[in-house]
Amino acid sequence: MRTTPTPTAVKVVSDAKAARDAADVTMLQSVVAWAVEFRVDNSLVDDLTFGIDGVILGGVGCPLVSEFDVYDLAAVLGMSSEAGCTYVGKTLELRYRLRRIWEQVVALQVPVWKAFRVCEHTLTLSFEAARYVDQMLAPTLRSCSFAQIERTIAQAIDLFDPEEAEKRRKKAADDRDFQIHLGQRNSPTDGTVDVTGTLSPEDALDLEAAVKQGAKALGDLGCDESLGARRSMAVGEMARQQLTLDLESGGDTGGRGVVIYAHIDADSPHVSLDNIGGGDVLVEQLREWCQTAGTTVTIKPVIDLNEDLSTKAYVPTAKLVEQVRLRDQNCAFPNCTRRAQHCDLDHRVPFNKNNPEAGGKTTTSNLSVLCRKHHRAKTFSAWDYTSPRPGVYDWTSPSGHRFRVVRGRRHGRMPVTTPLDDPPEP
C-alpha cells in the first residue's frame, strides 16, 4: 500500500538537494581559485599540449595550469588524473568562455551537470563560436533539451567555424574504432566480455550481413543457442577462421595464441585470470577454450611473484618485467586503473647510470608499474612514493596530501586508493 510522504520528509529532501547544489557551486569556485594559484604563463609553454610547464584544459582563452598539480587536485577530489583534468577543463571553460552560463550556475538557476554538458561541446570551438553559444543558451538553458543544445552548437559551428565543421567530419571518420573490453567483465564469473565499435556505414552493413549469415549457418547445423548467442559465436568463428572476411597478411592468421596466467584453487570451481582482463571464469569454460579447434596452448613456468629477481643493468630482464607486471596488474598511481601491459617500469629509488652502486637497483622490490604520464609526474615533480610491502604504495603529492594504493587482494581486481590522513589497517 502506497503512503503519501509527509511535508516534513519532502522538505528534508528539498533542503538536501539545495545544499548539494550550493556545494557543487562552491566546488567550482574553489577550483577556479586553485587554477589562479597554479596558473602558468603562456610564455613558458612552447605549445598548448601536456608538458612539464603547463597544460590548457579548457578552450582557447582559458588559462594554462600546472600539469602535475592537476594530478594532485584530482587525487584530493578522489578522481583519476584523466577525470580530474576533464573536471578542471569544464570548470575553466564555464568560467572564462561561457560567462553568462557561469552566472546562471553561480545563481543556482542552472545545475552544474547541465552546464557541463554544454562545455563538452564548446571546448574545441573558437572563442567567437563559444560566445555565440553562451549568448543563445544562457537565458533558457534551465529548460533547454539536449537536442536544442546540440542544434545551437551546430549553428555556432556553421556561422563562425566552417573549417571546424569539416574537421569534425574528418575526425568522425578517423575516430572509427573497434574495442574488445577485456578489462571490463559484465560480472566476475559470467565469462563474457563486451565489444563496442564505430564503423563506417558500408563496413557496418558488411559486418551485419556476415554475422547474420554466420548465425543462420550455426542454426542450420543444429546449434540451439539463442539468436543473440549464435551471432556472438559467429563473430568468434570469423576471427578464428576468417570464414567471411578474406583478409590477407604476411603472417599466420589462424587459430588462437593467447597466453593465459591462470590461478587455480583446488577447492574452487573458478579460475582467476591475470592477463586477459582479470576476473574469474569457471574451470570448465577454460577447458572449453583450450579444446576449441585451432587453439594453441602455451605452457609456461610458474613465476614466483614473491621472489626478488635482479639484474645489474638499468633495463630489467624479460622475466623481471613479466613478474612485476603480473604482481602489480595496474599503474600504482592514486586512482589510476591503466593496465600493467601498457605501462612503464619505474625504479622507486632512481638508478644511477654513471655509478650503479650508488643508486637504486633493478630488482623486483625496487620496481613498480607506472603509466607514462604518472611516470613523468614522479620523475619531474614533487610526487613521491614508497612501498611498505609488495602491492602497497604510499604516495605523497606536491601539496603534501598522502594516499595509499593497494592492489586488489584477488587477481584481476582494480587497485583501491585511500587517503592516508586516517591510514587503513594493514
- Calculate the CA 281 to chain-centre distance: 24
Q: What is the pLDDT of residue 298?
A: 66
Domains of the chain, residue spans: 17-163, 171-249, 255-300, 310-419
For the chain (426 residues), the mean pLDDT of every run of 10, in chain order, is 72 91 95 92 51 75 90 93 94 95 95 95 91 94 90 88 76 83 63 84 82 90 90 85 49 54 60 55 67 65 77 88 87 90 90 79 91 92 91 92 81 75 51
Residue (of 344, 350, 378) closest to 366 by Cα position: 350
Residue 38, CA atoms < 13 Å, CB-side half-sphere: 23
Q: What is the pLDDT of residues 307-352, one digit of tens each?
A: 888 888 889 898 899 889 888 888 999 999 888 888 999 999 888 8
Residue 177 φ/ψ, nearest 5 degrees: -155, 165
Q: What is the pLDDT of residues 135-148, one digit of tens each?
A: 999 999 999 898 89
Query: How far apart, in Å, are the Cα atoms of 193 and each of 127, 184, 281?
Result: 42, 7, 11
Q: How far apart are CA 275 and CA 86, in angstroms?
A: 29
Whole-structure pTM value? 0.70
